[in-house]
Amino acid sequence: MTKLSDNEIKRTTKLLPEKRYAYSLEKIIKNQFVYVLEREVNGYASSEIEGNRLVAIWPSKEYATLNARADWSDFRPKEIALASIEPLLEAIESEGWNLDVFPNGAKTGQVVTVDEFINDLNAMVNNTVEV
């Protein structure tokens, strides 16, 4: 996996949430990893918006690291292989939480259910392998 350039980071962090979401899906499929922020106590970085609890995920370690500040300053990036993400997604879903895909600082990313995330990943995989 290649390190992201400063230009790519600057460009993508300026995108609207739905564009960051599409970018995230592409990167996650390409690299086969998802990144979360984690700490020993209280687990993964999360937030609450309009009564909905959200677990934040990013398509690369660089983006997760950039968000390990303010309320999340004691969290560290954790890489999760796409092939091993099922337990995390099951836990999020069983709690009735959603995903916040590619939040950027104080700005929320694309909020999706676990099912929407899985369906969108699968749809993108199917579109990239069709001839």
- Tens-place pLDDT, residues 2-21: 689 999 999 999 999 999 99
For the stretch 77-86, pLDDT in tens is 999 999 999 9
Q: Measured between alpha carbons, how far is 24 from 28 in angstroms, rounded to an integer? A: 6
Q: Measured between alpha carbons, how far is 22 from 120 in angstroms, rounded to an integer? A: 9
Q: Measured between alpha carbons, how far is 114 from 47 in angstroms, rounded to an integer? A: 16
Q: What structural domains does the chain harbor?
A: 16-125 (3.40.1350.90)
For residues 86 and 127, the model is more confident at: 86
